[in-house]
A = this chain, B = another copy of it.
Amino acid sequence: MAKTIYIAGLGLIGASMALGIKRDHPDYEILGYNRSQTSRDIALERGMIDRATDDFASFAPLADVIILTLPIKQTIAFLQELATLELKEGVIISDAGSTKSAIVVTAENCFADKPVRFVGAHPMAGSHKTGAASVDVNLFENAYYIFTPSSLTSPDTLEEMKDLLSGLHARFIEIDAEEHDRVTSQISHFPHILASGLMEQTASYAEEHEMARRFAAGGFRDMTRIAESEPGMWTSILLSNRETIVERIEDFRGRLDEIGQAISKGDENQIWNFFNQAREQRQAMEIHKRGGVDSSFDLYVDVPDEEDVILRILELLRGTSLVNIHINEENREDVHGILQISFKNAQDLKRAEQVITENTNYTVVIK
């Protein structure tokens, strides 16, 4: 049965979601809300949505499913507005906010006595690009799409949402909203604070020690990359997850005190254990496994600084799926000094090692 889906917020996430829904459900009608006309026009012209409005309330009563793909604050405001409207009985409301507790609590309060189903969600996808013009039907491919079920979420709510979003090719997973916020505070929110803090400290230090700008290399680049994220979004995230993040900050201060004291005392064992434990922990992490971010099926090729050298190697690997390819000849302080190619499995890796070794005189290393 064809449904009517209402997507509020036609930014990169909302627009890409609309396309993903249409991929598996071309018969569904998709309604779109956006404040600015530009994204509305683009979404209409490119067929991402069927009808558009700048009056959020107007389309809400028509929808079988309402998905708010908006900043956290506005998501909360729209949930409150939805509670005042006459919606379809059994409507499913969902969202796409980066923190979940504040949003889920709002929804639980707003819809407690109403014939409304709700499930909080956090699609872990994004891009440096924004707006409907950057739409990408593959944006969510293989990304985690996290649901945070609560008392307004019945099992059929999740089934219907997963069916609706099947065209996104995302990895659906369920977790408690508060636990989601705790986990993301540790692996995302707090690291953003560290990155921005390190960047500010270095900029301030570089005012009197200008070589700091010049010598900053691979490690520093990696550690500060996320300091370039959009400040408004991250301010909202911090504000909607305050206690948990402050607790992570306090915990980390204690860790800095400890290693600082070990350095002051010159306690070689303690410092070595600090570094060694961290190394072992990272090596043991999911991050190294297939399906995680890094891959274990990595091959390193020492390549000369010659034209078309990467092309030559890729020609040898024609037909083999590459998960990742990376080279950086600018700085050899770290592993980026050589061509790193990641494969989907051990067979591809083995085959690649063989074909490169047989056809070139480059050194090939498997880590």
Chain A positions within 8 Å of B, measured between CB atoms, are: 124-129, 134, 136, 138-144, 146, 173, 175, 179-180, 182-184, 186-188, 190-203, 205-206, 209, 211-229, 231-232, 234-235, 238-239, 242, 245-246, 248-253, 255-257, 259-260, 263-264, 266, 268, 271-272, 274-279, 281-287, 291-295, 300, 302, 304-305, 307-308, 310-311, 314-315, 317-335, 337-338, 363, 365, 367
Contacts and interface: CB of A to CB of B under 8 A. Distances in A.
A233 to B, nearest CB: 9
A287 B146 CA distance: 35
A235 B275 contact: yes
A198 to B, nearest CB: 6
A139 B337 CA distance: 8
B275 A196 contact: yes
This chain: copies in complex: 2
Contacts of A139: 332, 337
A189 B231 CA distance: 27
Given A138-B305, A143-B331, A209-B179, A127 B338 contact: yes
B333 A124 contact: yes
A63 to B, nearest CB: 27
Given A186-B205, A314-B310, A226 B219 contact: yes
**Of A129, A190, A196, most B-chain CB atoms within 10 Å:** A196
B216 A202 contact: no
A173 B168 CA distance: 51
Contacts of A199: 278, 281-282
Given A228-B283, A235-B272, A264-B246, A293 B200 contact: no
Contact of A196 (B143, B249, B278, B308): B278
Contact of A332 (B141, B194, B259, B326): B141
13 contacts: A139-B337, A186-B201, A186-B202, A190-B198, A200-B274, A219-B226, A221-B294, A224-B287, A231-B275, A232-B272, A249-B263, A253-B256, A308-B318
